[in-house]
Amino acid sequence: MALWRAYQRALNAHPWKVQVLTAGSLMGLGDIISQQLVERRGLRKHQISRTLTMASLGCGFVGPVVGGWYKVLDRLIPGTTKVDALKKMLLDQGCFAPCFLGSFLSLTGALNGLSAQDNWAKLQRDYPDALIANYYLWPAVQLANFYLVPLYYRLAVVQCVAVIWNSYLSWKAHQL
């Protein structure tokens, strides 16, 4: 409980920084889970650079983009009624999620050193499955998030759920 209160104080004092650092930390954790539990690499074969890349993507891309999107979404559709939450979820999943997912997979491929041609081929191969997996998880999460969670906590809530999603994305993004 003390940790949660400290997080809330930090979030109130420095919302943008804390949201970005939260996203980066949880993206890194998702990669650790992917490498250790999904891929069963073991500690000796753990790719630290890959974990740092995923954490950096969280801080430099995921946190700022998703955090900014939530602010824009709240301006486009103000309110917290069930109808407002449904509208936000539909806009989020219909417009933002497909673009964000494609951008994330492309950026990860580029950071992994793929050529433009190889990155495009990987995106064509992986994007449809990743988008379908997205629709199994995120509409329900986002509906609850937009209805029940205040704006400053949305990114943190999503990133907590996203530890599992990030494990999947890390695994998907690093399949060659």
Q: Is 56 helix (H, G, I), strand (E, B) or coil?
A: helix
Q: Where are the alpha helices (DSSP H) in the chain?
A: 2-13, 15-33, 48-57, 63-76, 82-91, 97-111, 116-148, 151-173
Higher confidence at residue 98 or residue 153? 98
Place of tokens 């492309």: 106
Cα–Cα distances (Å) from 79 to 18, 87, 94, 143, in that order, read 24, 10, 19, 13
Q: Which amino acid is at 15?
A: P
Q: 160 falls in which pLDDT band (50, 70, 90)?
A: confident
Q: How many domains would you assign to the chain?
A: 1
For residue 73, pLDDT over 70 is answered with yes
Q: What is the pLDDT of residue 176?
A: 62
Q: What is the pLDDT of residue 9?
A: 93
Q: 173 falls in which pLDDT band (50, 70, 90)?
A: confident
Q: Would you put residue 40 in left (φ > 0), alpha (ψ -120 to 50) or beta?
A: left
Q: What is the pLDDT of residue 88?
A: 97
Domain extent at residue 148: 1-174
For residue 78, pLDDT over 90 is answered with yes
Q: What is the pLDDT of residue 172?
A: 76
Cα–Cα distances (Å) from 142 to 58, 63, 68, 89, in that order, read 19, 16, 15, 6
Lowest mean pLDDT among 107-111, 146-150, 158-162: 158-162
For residue 159, pLDDT over 80 is answered with no
Tens-digit pLDDT profile for residues 9-35 = 998 899 889 989 999 999 999 899 989
For residue 83, pLDDT over 70 is answered with yes
Predicted TM-score of the model (pTM) = 0.85
Distance CA 156, CA 143 (A): 15
Cβ partners under 8 Å of residue 6, min gap 6: none
